[in-house]
Chain A
Amino acid sequence: MNQANAKPATVIDAHELSKVYNGHQIPVRAVDNVHLHIEEGEFTAIVGPSGSGKSTLLHLIGGLDAPTAGSVILAGTDLTQLSENELIDFRLHNIGFVFQAYNLVPVLTARENVGFVMQLQGVPREEREARVRTLLEEVGLADKAESKPGKLSGGQQQRVAVARALASKPRIVLADEPTANLDSVSAANLLDIMARLNRDENITFLFSTHDQRVIEKARRVITLVDGRVVSDEIRQ
């Protein structure tokens, strides 16, 4: 395993990735021959208008959906070669997800929502509780640990979801328009938290958005149009 000071390791390597949906009449090329290379520690945004294939691309990378063509190699493992259960177990240990909304299990408290992934991983109770506490502090919700999602605001729910995505110590966190349902203050706040965790915990983030203010926080911006990568710029 590479150390932080060595050359960054490749987290995602996608080759000629395509996803074709057979719609009613014409097939839709939701993702069209995408090549993607993401390295450890990146904080990268996938941008593009609605329907450009951002969600589909993230689903393919996360192994939630199978590509029509091409391959996704995540941390050295070819996802297209895994069985359904192998994929689920792989996600458990390597990928954290944040979706647009309603990420949390409604009947569990914030603390239980964050702890549950580690429970599946078999992390011992004390270690688990300590990490849950740290993460909830980092997202600024230490005082909401015992609240159920229904009692949290949209922004708070998304912060719990980010904490949960990090709980499993994944190789990468995939976030599909995490700020889409948030007001601008909450959105900026969430992005700041993500950026800080990216720096402090050296967690790789790949998130999609079409919000200009969110795009500004990214260090690399990949633009999709009609399922194709039309630009890929690194900023500082």
Chain B
Amino acid sequence: MSWLNLWRNRRRTLITAASVYFAVILSIIMRSATLGVYDNMIHNFVTFSSGYMQVHLKGYWEESNIDNAMEHRASLADTFGRVAGVTAVIPRLQSFVLASGADQTKGAMAMGIIPSLERSATRFSEKLTVGSYPRSDTDRVALLGEELALRLKLKPGDTLVLIGQGYRAASAAGMFRVAGLLQLGSPELNQRMIFLPLKRAQEMFGAESLITSLALQVGNPAALEPVHQRLRQVLDTARLEVKTWKEMYPEMDQFITADSSGHIIMSGILYLMISFGLLGTLLMMTMERTHEFGILIALGLRKSKIGLMLLGESVIIALMGCAMGMLSGFGIVWWFQSNPIRLTGQLRDMYISYGIDPVIALSTRPDIFYIQAVVVLVISVVLVLAPVWKVMRLKPVEAINS
């Protein structure tokens, strides 16, 4: 009965489709912002510390001591690099040091990295705010988190002195020129990270050709587990282990889970509001047409057919609104992803105190879009049952007289 489609009155269709449209956009943005903040938080933290996943000597995570370092062999890195889902294998050597500037000393984490590799694999160089990024992998230079530099009163060109414990109880000390400062997107890392070229770090710690970990970057951080499984199959499990960030930082995962439940309640309230709006529109539409329905019933149209017609209309309208909402939602999210909102003032301080980057980044994970659209679609189909139920109880005489 395709002719029934003609029945839809353009104004009414537009009003309802528009309410579905805004509902979809709203819920997409909300979900996207929530996931975006989490993703961003995890990304910023793990990329410049452990990696989404990390391979290290068995037991290293429990006792993160440089004595638990392992041989850096190219063949090992290649093996992991070939595992599907792994996009980069990054060798790092890290240990605790005391860092001194002109007259201040602070505890810090010194991490040896390969500057040229990090530039391509983690876009590390983009985090530089002042100074310059090391041009070679062997310069005797250091990059510091901004916050740490502030506390040590250091700026590019100054000299940084590091003292710590080296490999197998050797003493470690070194002097480095500060090449640049970093804004790492994780307040915690900003306060304690010092990056050195791997070669120089190995020298200082007396750990020639050793690394403490291989950090693994992945293509899709939302689906770590399958990659984790595959890695375990190629790993010498007697000697090495691979951990995901969730295993390494369970408290971060717990925080997200706890924070999510608040967002789920918010989404619930949003959906409830959307539902009431939609229900209102649907009921109004039915009320407006009560007289018309009465006439149709008098002429011989079964109520069930009218109900089916309403259902069909509702589905078509919802599909239209959902499709448009998904498109616009995607556009908006896309735009904000390339132009993230940097928070300022109190909100910024609050975010930092929670250890979260004060940036509202939106996630473009595809499931956000279709899940929100499907939810709104289901809501509109369920809600149309109210007017359908009203029609089924309609008394023709009363309807005609209305």
Residues of A within 8 A of B (CB): 59, 62, 64-65, 84-85, 88-89, 91-93, 97, 99, 102-103, 105-108, 112, 116-117, 119-121, 164, 168
Q: How far is the CA of A121 from the CA of B297 in the complex (A)?
A: 14
Interface with A: B1-9, B110-118, B321-329, B355-363, which one? B1-9
B291 in the interface (beta carbon within 8 A) = yes
B3, B303, B396, B400: the one contacting A119 at CB < 8 Å is B3
A64, A97, A106, A168: the one contacting B292 at CB < 8 Å is A106
* A88 B297 Cβ-Cβ under 8 A: yes
Q: A64-B396, A119-B3 are in contact. Are A106 and B300 (CB under 8 A)?
A: no
* A120 B292 Cβ-Cβ under 8 A: no
Contacts of B400 in A (CB 8 A): 64, 99
Q: A64-B397, A102-B291, A119-B3 are in contact. Are A97 and B299 (CB under 8 A)?
A: yes
A92, A99, A106: the one contacting B9 at CB < 8 Å is A106
Given contacts A65-B397, A92-B300, A117-B299, 8 further A-B pairs with CB under 8 A are: A84-B303, A85-B304, A99-B298, A102-B295, A105-B296, A106-B9, A107-B9, A116-B299
A105, A164, A168: the one contacting B7 at CB < 8 Å is A105
A62, A84, A106, A112: the one contacting B298 at CB < 8 Å is A62
Q: How far is the CA of A106 from the CA of B300 in the complex (A)?
A: 18
Contacts of B7 in A (CB 8 A): 105, 107-108
Contacts of A164 in B (CB 8 A): 299
Q: How far is the CA of A121 from the CA of B7 in the complex (A)?
A: 19
* A59 B9 Cβ-Cβ under 8 A: no
Q: How far is the CA of A68 from the CA of B228 in the complex (A)?
A: 76
- A98 CB to closest chain B CB (Å) equals 10
Q: How far is the CA of A164 from the CA of B298 in the complex (A)?
A: 12
- A148 CB to closest chain B CB (Å) equals 11
Contacts of A119 in B (CB 8 A): 3
A interface: dominant SS? helix
Q: How far is the CA of A119 from the CA of B297 in the complex (A)?
A: 14
- B220 CB to closest chain A CB (Å) equals 48
Interface residue tally on B, bucketed by range? 20 to 34
B84 in the interface (beta carbon within 8 A) = no
Q: A107-B7, A108-B7 are in contact. Are A120 and B301 (CB under 8 A)?
A: yes
Contacts of A89 in B (CB 8 A): 300, 302
Contacts of B8 in A (CB 8 A): 107
Contacts of B6 in A (CB 8 A): 107-108, 112
B interface: dominant SS? helix
Q: A59-B397, A64-B397, A107-B9 are in contact. Are A93 and B295 (CB under 8 A)?
A: no
Q: How far is the CA of A120 from the CA of B296 in the complex (A)?
A: 11
- B272 CB to closest chain A CB (Å) equals 32
19 pairs of residues in contact across A and B, judged by CB atoms under 8 Å: A59-B397, A62-B298, A65-B396, A85-B302, A88-B303, A89-B300, A92-B299, A97-B298, A97-B299, A99-B295, A102-B295, A103-B295, A105-B295, A106-B292, A107-B9, A108-B6, A108-B7, A117-B299, A117-B300
- B100 CB to closest chain A CB (Å) equals 82
Q: How far is the CA of A64 from the CA of B395 in the complex (A)?
A: 8
* B397 A88 Cβ-Cβ under 8 A: no
* Residue in chain B with minimal CB distance to A56: B397
* A120 B300 Cβ-Cβ under 8 A: yes
Contacts of A102 in B (CB 8 A): 291, 295
Q: A59-B397, A99-B400, A119-B3 are in contact. Are A105 and B300 (CB under 8 A)?
A: no
Task: Enumerate B370-402 residues with CB–CB distance to A below 8 Å.
Answer: 395-397, 400
Q: How far is the CA of A84 from the CA of B295 in the complex (A)?
A: 15
* A93 B292 Cβ-Cβ under 8 A: no
Q: How far is the CA of A48 from the CA of B396 in the complex (A)?
A: 23
Contacts of A65 in B (CB 8 A): 395-397
* A88 B9 Cβ-Cβ under 8 A: no
Contacts of A92 in B (CB 8 A): 299-301
Q: How far is the CA of A108 from the CA of B291 in the complex (A)?
A: 15
Question: Across chains A and B, which 7 residue pairs bring their CB atoms closest together, nearest first?
Answer: A92-B300, A64-B396, A91-B300, A65-B397, A97-B298, A64-B397, A59-B397
- A129 CB to closest chain B CB (Å) equals 13
* B291 A88 Cβ-Cβ under 8 A: no
* Residue in chain A with minimal CB distance to B396: A64
Please encode chain B, from 282 to 312, with 1 for each CB lying within 8 Å of some chain A CB and 0 for all others: 0000000001100111111111100000000
Contacts of A99 in B (CB 8 A): 295, 298, 400
Q: How far is the CA of A88 from the CA of B295 in the complex (A)?
A: 11
Contacts of A107 in B (CB 8 A): 6-9
Q: How far is the CA of A116 from the CA of B300 in the complex (A)?
A: 10
Contacts of A108 in B (CB 8 A): 6-7
* Residue in chain B with minimal CB distance to A176: B400
Q: A106-B9, A119-B3 are in contact. Are A88 and B301 (CB under 8 A)?
A: yes
Contacts of B302 in A (CB 8 A): 85, 88-89
Q: How far is the CA of A106 from the CA of B293 in the complex (A)?
A: 11
* B291 A93 Cβ-Cβ under 8 A: no
